[in-house]
Amino acid sequence: MSSCRDNNNNISSLESEYIKKHHRHENIADNQCTSVLLKHIKAPVHLVWSLVRRFDEPQKYKPFVSRCVAQGNLEIGSLREVDVKSGLPATTSTERLELLDDDQHIFSIRIIGGDHRLRNYSSIISVHPEIIEGRPGTLVVESFVVDVPEGNTKDETCYFVQALIKCNLKSLADVSERLAVQDRTEPIDRM
The percentage of residues in the chain with a pLDDT greater than 70, rounded to a whole number, is 90
Mean per-residue pLDDT over the chain, rounded: 88
Give the global pTM.
Answer: 0.88
Contact 154, 177 (CB under 8 A): no
* Domain residue ranges in the chain: 32-184
According to the model, what pLDDT value does residue 9 have? 55
Residue 27 DSSP label: S
The percentage of residues in the chain with a pLDDT greater than 90, rounded to a whole number, is 67
Rounded to whole angstroms, how far apart are CA atoms 131 and 43?
Answer: 10
pLDDT(12) > 90: no
Rounded to whole angstroms, how far apart are CA atoms 17 and 20?
Answer: 5
* pLDDT bucket at 3, cuts 50 / 70 / 90: very low
Look at residue 43 and give its three-state secondary structure. Answer: coil
According to the model, what pLDDT value does residue 77 have? 95
Question: How big is the chain, counted in residues?
Answer: 191
**101: phi then psi, degrees, rounded to nearest 5:** -115, 100
* pLDDT bucket at 115, cuts 50 / 70 / 90: confident
Rounded to whole angstroms, how far apart are CA atoms 136 and 15?
Answer: 17
pLDDT(188) > 90: no
According to the model, what pLDDT value does residue 59 have? 95
CATH T-level topology, domain 32-184: Alpha-D-Glucose-1,6-Bisphosphate; Chain A, domain 4 (3.30.530)
CA dihedral sign of residues 131, 124, 34, 117: negative
Q: What is the DSSP string of 74-129?
A: SSTT-EEEEEEPTTSS-SEEEEEEEEEETTTTEEEEEEEEESSS-TT-EEEEEEEE
**Tens digit of each residue's pLDDT (9 = 90 or more) over 25-73:** 888 899 999 999 999 999 999 999 999 999 999 999 999 999 999 988 8
CA dist list (Å): 111 to 56, 101, 119, 131? 14, 19, 7, 33
